[in-house]
Chains A and B, each alone.
Chain A
Amino acid sequence: MSRITCEHLCKRFGDFTAVHDVTLTVEPGEVLALLGPNGAGKTTTIRMIASILRPTQGTASVAGYDVVTQASQVRGSVGLLTEHHGLYTRMRSLEYLRFFGQVYGLAPELAEMRARSLLELYGLDQALGLRLGQYSKGMRQKLALVRALLHEPSVLLLDEPTSAMDPASAHLVRSSIEQMRNSQRAIIVCTHNLHEAEALADRIAIISQGRIVAYDSPQELKKHLIGDPVMELKLGAPLDGARGYLPDGLELISAGETWVRFRTPNPDLTNPQILRTLHSLGIPVITLSEIERSLEEVYLQVVRSGLVGED
């Protein structure tokens, strides 16, 4: 059973439809990245899943609880990292976490133990004496993440988890997300960082104008939206008639004096074949590698073309 299930979720604010017909699932141990431009409906979707906003239409369940009728249980099962961290600036970290521990119904000793351990994990144990108003942006974000993890939720909804962090902290948080995935949590990450999404996500949902316009694994998205992998072959000698060296059915993209680029639906099959041919002809091969195609390319193509309902 999926940990998060949304079926045809809609959210309207008066005449404005913020989210339209969103259907998605997240399994335990899966990370779903929600991508989309500002105002696309990512945060509204997250808020509906977290039972803060009530869907206008459609249903959603989290950890087996309905987001409308069992809102309190849903909120108890979700760890939400909000876009704005909204810390109480006069408090200190432990006091702040004790408060949230209490609100989530944790025993004081347990809350204290978890708080200390998480603060240490995220390198905030050195700042126990500081008031939260004195924290840097990155520290605030880490503390907000600690707050979301304190009650060990089975579902994590992370809105821009590394946006204000330095590279080291961002790396730490990404590693944490990997660990949380390994501990069978269902995770949704809203992000603008496409490299992060590509690195973390098992599946990606691109949302535009309130609709999911693309929804698949990063590899499949690339394949569907920007075609088969493109390979580049570099040779140690001039190439004469590139077409002749390529097996039938491959698409030649471009070629130079000593290099050729081609598209192949199945590199595992075609590449060894090409190498064997070149080797038998005595043509030295320097490299045969895939041209890196970023998720950014996919994202831009999807958002620009607005592939409504394609997936």
Chain B
Amino acid sequence: MSVEVSALRQDWTGAWSIARREIRDQLRDWRILTPIAILTLFFPLLMNFTAQQAVDFVTRYGAPVIGDRLIPFLLMVVGFFPISISLVIALESFAGERERLSLEPLLATPLTDSQLYYGKMIASLVPPLGASYLGISVYLIGLIFRLGWVPSSQLLIQIMALTTVQAIVMVSGAVVISSQTTSVRAANLLASFVIIPVAELIIGESLIMFWGRYQILWWIVLALILVAVVLMRMGLRLFNREELLGRELDVFDLKWAWMVFKQAFLAEAGSFSEWYRGLLKHVFKRMRVPIILMAAALTLAYILGSHFAETFTLPGELFQGRAYNQDWLEVLTAFGLLTPAGAAKIFFINARALLLASLLGVFTFGVLAVILLMVPVGLIGYFAGNVALAGQSSFLFLEALVLPHATLEVPAAIISGASILQLGMAAISMPQGSSLGEGWIRAMAEWVRVGVGIVIPLLIGAALLETFVTPLIAVSLLAGG
């Protein structure tokens, strides 16, 4: 225990040495000090004036609630503006040192990667956060004196927590970018990966605050803490002294990218059967954890769907068996089922959904992909729940309408979802020392490999079953029920 404490203290000492030097350096730079001073002193006073004018205006027209909602929103804005500077500082952290050629002496010291990384993070956070807290204080003091408005302790803690965790998220993201680029210019160009999500977040938070649902802000704080943890882990995972020093140019080398992709896709297989055996081995070995997670997520979706059936119950007549007879087959044929075109359409729709899930998964560490894939399963649960509530057998419903093609479609969704999760998590789970680009390309190759070798064949089978088999089973099981 004492060894761990001593190691932690040593880690902290190293990180703080870096941070302290950089903070001192920042406090000597007028280009950083001037905007901080303006945003800390002048901007809160301007917001005070704005708040007073707005409150006077809306009160005149009998809508004081708008003023009540505007003041906390401006509190958040006053806190946010100074922390935006942390982004600039963090983007410069590694790329700037590299450009000024002062990185090599630092990398040659016994400092560990985590000391360097956290030192840079702390240095980027402390001055803007200090300025932000000061700005919030100035704004609050102004409000107390001008309008006599005092925030509840909960709101104040929420705003402070949001401000802090937003700064940590921005800095974590920006330090990742800075450690992966060769110049400050390149880092600034890539900053949109941080700016756009944060801008959307601020818009969302504004809506929530105007809506008056302040409790939701706690969930946002929690989500942001998770994102910050993921980004920090990703940053440390990707941190590589060699890459920092060795990379000379940010070029997109298509030939190299293709070679890496091809190598990962083929996985050194000598024949198609060897390739396929390797793929199956990979799926059931390396993808075990994401497959379990995905299966658990889909099960949860089904349970949630059934649960919602109790809250939003559909009319029972919808589930009367007499609707499913031979005439129904003709109706289905008219809609394209029981025809090859229908099978192609179903395959296309399913493949499109998985592609969309993959795209969303890439930018959200796989989270949105999982949610998207949970939706249809949740709907099935919802209908099955409604069937049960209508006094019918939900098992029969599943057996007749879902299970025939679900025997292939659900495994396809699970494996595909697991593959997307792996792709989304590539940046935080790649082997230590790999470059971000190489890691992404390899993960992408794995995703294509699983898609081509397993998911697409399963989807084709599922589409054929859904088109030609499920309607017949449905009619035979449900007709005259």
**Which residues of A are in contact with B by a Cβ distance under 8 Å?**
13-14, 47, 50-54, 72-73, 75-76, 78, 80, 82, 84-91, 99-100, 102-105, 144, 147
CB distance from B163 to the nearest CB of A (A): 28
Q: Write out the residue numbers on chain A whose beta carbons fall within 8 Å of the beta carbon of B112.
A: 72
Known: A14-B256, A80-B108, A103-B17. 10 other contacts (CB 8 A): A51-B108, A52-B242, A53-B242, A73-B110, A82-B105, A86-B100, A86-B101, A86-B104, A100-B109, A102-B17
B100 CB contacts on chain A under 8 angstroms: 86, 89
Question: Given the known A-B contacts A13-B246, A50-B108, A52-B108, are A103 and B103 also in contact in the complex, defined by CB atoms under 8 Å?
Answer: no
**17 intermolecular pairs with C-beta atoms under 8 Å apart:** A14-B256, A52-B104, A52-B108, A52-B241, A54-B242, A72-B112, A75-B110, A80-B105, A80-B108, A86-B102, A86-B103, A89-B100, A91-B24, A91-B25, A102-B13, A103-B111, A147-B105
Q: Which residues of A contact B14 (CB under 8 A)?
A: 103
- Would B245 and A47 count as touching, CB distance under 8 A? yes
Return the chain B residue nearest A90 by Cβ. B28
Interface size bucket, B side? 20 to 34
How many residue-residue contacts, CB under 8 A, span A and B?
A: 72
Instruction: Tell me the nearest residue of chain B to A54, going by C-beta.
Output: B242
B156 sits at the interface (CB 8 A): no
Interface of B is mostly: helix
Known: A52-B241, A87-B102. A104 touches B110 (CB 8 A): yes
Q: Which residues of B contact A99 (CB under 8 A)?
A: 17, 21
Q: Is B314 an interface residue (CB 8 A)?
A: no
Chain B nearest CB, measured from A111 CB (Å): 12
Contacts known (A90-B28, A99-B17); A104 close to B104, Cβ less than 8 A:
no
A75 touches B104 (CB 8 A): no
Sorted from nearest, which 6 A-B pairs have the closest CB atoms? A86-B102, A84-B101, A86-B101, A76-B110, A80-B108, A75-B110
Q: Is B433 an interface residue (CB 8 A)?
A: yes
For A54, give its contact among B103, B107, B109, B433 (CB under 8 Å): B433
Q: Check B245 against A75 for contact (C-beta < 8 Å).
A: no
Given A75-B108, A104-B109, A105-B110, are A52 and B102 neighbors across the interface (CB < 8 Å)?
no
| Contact residues, B12-58 vs A (CB, 8 A) | 13-14, 17-18, 21, 24-25, 28-29
Instruction: Please determine whether A84 and B104 come into contact, CB atoms closer than 8 angstroms.
Output: yes
Q: Report Cα–Cα, A80/B106, bound state, in Å.
A: 10
- Taken together as a complex, chains A and B put the C-alpha atoms of A54 and B28 apart, in Å, by 36
Interface centre among A76, A105, A147 (most CB of B within 10 A): A105
Assess whether B256 is in contact with A82, with CB atoms less than 8 Å apart: no
Among B100, B107, B433, which residue has the most Cβ atoms of chain A within 10 A? Answer: B107
Of all chain B residues, the one with the shortest Cβ separation from A18 is B246
Highest count of chain A CB atoms <10 Å: which of B108, B242, B433: B108
Residues of A within 8 A of B17 (CB): 99, 102-103
Distance in angstroms from B91 CB to nearest chain A CB is: 18
Q: Which of A73, A89, A103 contacts B109 (CB 8 A)?
A: A103
CA distance A204 to B106 in the complex (A): 28
A-contact bits for B1-19, CB 8 A (1 contact / 0 none): 0000000000001100110
Report which of A54, A76, A88 forms a contact with B21, defined as CB distance below 8 A: A88
Question: Within the complex, what minimum Cβ distance (angstroms) separates B374 from chain A?
Answer: 41
**Residues 70-128 (chain B) with a chain A CB within 8 angstroms:** 97, 100-112
Q: How far is the CA of A73 from the CA of B103 in the complex (A)?
A: 19
Chain B contacts of A50 at CB under 8 A? 108
A47, A53, A88: the one contacting B102 at CB < 8 Å is A88
